[in-house]
Amino acid sequence: MLAITACSWGFNWPVSKFLLSELPPFAMRTLCCGAGAAFAFAVARARGEVLWPPRGQWRRLVLFATLNYGAFTILTTLALYWLPASEAVIVTYTLPIWAGVLAWPMLGEQPTLGRVAAMVLGLGGVALLVAAGISASWTQIPGVLCGFAAAWVFALGTVIAKRAPLAMPPVTGVGWQALIGTVPVALLALTEHTRWGAITPLGWGAVAYVAILPMSLAYLTWFRALRLLPAGTAATGVLMAPVVGVFASAALLGEPLGLRQLAALAMTLCGVALAARS
């Protein structure tokens, strides 16, 4: 479940960066998130799930949608706008730092030596990737700040979901979260000038990918992984996503890939393996 989540989210970054060449930022996200919500509801209907949320779940549903979809989508879109895809994904996936910190007071998960070592290795790989990649220029600093903010809100949503998961069918829950989280993104898209006719067939294929995998299936596998693993371990395992994102960005967008990236890959995967064992 964690591997499906990480790979889907990792490929999402270069695909979304490509879509920014065809659509304005928030129009692109609104289209992808809206299509993802529609796909999730269609799957939920096919599975025979009850589509209306149970009584007493609305407040938690809106909270999760705001953190894991709305705020995270807006902040990562801004990070992706100001930064290359390989750098934006690296900055955003510092989220294990915040998840590990929040899981201690909120979930009582004591940081074991193995988990601390796993986080040090994983984040060391991320630091190695980001150290020489992000220049301290005014044009990139807003992207870095948005990436860190996205990491914090998603980590908070991760810990809350682990502590008090939604009491509703899983696919329906993802559909509602995607739908509610799309609302603030769609409001921002109203300020943009969008030429829908300019989208190429490859662009529509990219929209379909983002809607089906990162925005729907990956969230289902992510919430399932949270039920099976400690929050800190799950968040550390998701560090595979920036590795996938960096290599996919090099293959699809021609972004840099050298010895530094390979060394970071080795460190990050060692951290993931250690986290799984601890």
Q: How many domains does the chain have?
A: 1
Is 165 exposed, middle or buried, given 0-12, 13-18 or 19+ CB atoms closer than 10 A? Answer: middle
Task: Give helix then strand counts, H and E, for the chain.
Answer: 14, 0
Closest CA to 7 of 257, 247, 178: 247
Q: What's the confidence (pLDDT) of residue 25?
A: 92
Does the structure show a pLDDT above 70 at 132? no
Phi and psi (nearest 5°) for 103? -70, -25
Over the stretch 150-178, which tens digit does the pLDDT of each residue have? Answer: 988 988 888 887 777 888 888 898 899 99
C-alpha–C-alpha distance, residues 46 and 92, integer Å:
34
DSSP 61-104: HHHHIIIIIIIHHHHHHHHHHHS-HHHHHHHHTTHHHHHHHHHH
C-alpha–C-alpha distance, residues 152 and 45, integer Å:
33
Over the stretch 65-84, which tens digit does the pLDDT of each residue have? Answer: 999 889 999 999 999 988 88
* Stated pTM of the model: 0.82
DSSP 17-42: HHHTTTS-HHHHHHHHHHHHHHHHHH
Higher-pLDDT residue of 12 and 89 is 12
Over the stretch 229-271, which tens digit does the pLDDT of each residue have? Answer: 876 677 677 778 888 888 899 899 988 777 877 887 788 778 7
Range of the domain at 40: 2-277
Q: What's the confidence (pLDDT) of residue 200?
A: 93
Q: What's the confidence (pLDDT) of residue 42?
A: 92
Over the stretch 181-218, which tens digit does the pLDDT of each residue have? Answer: 999 999 999 999 888 888 999 999 999 999 889 888 88
